[in-house]
Amino acid sequence: PNLTMNPSKAPWYFLGLQEMLVYFDPWIAGVVMPGLLVVGLMVFPYVDSNPLGNGYYTWKQRRFAVSMYLWGFYMWIILIIIGTFLRGPGWIWFWPGQTWDHNAVVFDRNRDLHEIVAGWGLPFLNATPFKEIFGAIVVGTIFLAGGLFFHWLMRRGRFEWRYLTNFKQLRAWATTPDEFESKLLQRTSILQYMTFQFFAVSVLFLFPIKLVMRLVFTIKYIWVTPWFNV
């Protein structure tokens, strides 16, 4: 009982929270991001201005709202899968079938984004307040790109897999707004629109980018401040 297991893992339903500690500060990983995820999944159906599908379950008439919910839900499932099957001793990444080595030492050079850019001939980014300003600009750019992406997505019609084998149909789907979806967007109030954009970009856009940057490029934080790190 006095021996701490390695790895020390929470119950499977909390492993998403434990895995999120890899990407954010503890108070952001344990409070802010889960709160945004839960609240976002709850509000998505209510900020959808589609009058169809009220009072009964339907996929065809509420594709956008259901898709956004599933996007966030599956992101949480992915975190649980990573924490359950891919994290070993020392919370090191082990591929399926790879033997857990309790003596393994992984020399990951986890750097912040401003440190990488500073190495490109911009050393002033390592100093305050330039690194804070740089991080704010990067996060702001991500929010802007995410907002434009979801605005574009809200005006698309039904996507069919056969479009992937026909470039003309794929281009037509990507460039031609759907009439019904465009009318729904016009019906959406500014409060509904901004609420959806905030939760969608924060949870469905920013977090996957952060996950890829951490796992693929070993970038720890993209915005470093004395009060919080993202």
Q: What is the pLDDT of residue 128?
A: 85
Measured over the CA atoms of residue 44, residue 47, residue 48 and residue 51, the dihedral's sign is positive
Q: 26: helix, coil or strand?
A: helix
Instruction: Give tens-digit pLDDT for 158-204.
Output: 888 888 888 999 999 899 898 888 888 888 889 989 999 999 999 89
Q: Does any domain span residue 128?
A: yes
With H, G, I as helix, E, B as strand and everything else as coil, classify residue 71. Answer: helix
pLDDT (tens digit per residue) in 63-120: 888 888 899 899 999 999 999 999 988 888 888 888 887 777 777 777 899 999 999 9
Please state, in angstroms and rounded to a whole number, the distance separating the CA atoms of residues 92 and 87.
Answer: 5
Q: Is residue 155 a part of any domain in this protein?
A: yes
The pTM assigned to this predicted structure is: 0.85
Q: Are 88 and 100 in contact (CB under 8 A)?
A: yes
Residue 173 included in any domain:
yes
In a domain, 226, yes or no: no
Whether residue 227 is contained in a domain is answered as: no
Q: Is residue 44 part of a domain?
A: yes
Which of residues 220 and 50 earns the better pLDDT score? 220
The reply to whether 28 falls in a domain is: yes
Expressed as residue numbers, the domain containing 128 is 12-217
- Which DSSP state fits 11? -
* Overall domain count for the chain: 1
- Distance between CA atoms of 189 and 108, rounded to whole angstroms? 47
Pick the residue with more confidence: 74 or 52? 74
Residue 1 confidence class, pLDDT cut points 50, 70, 90:
low
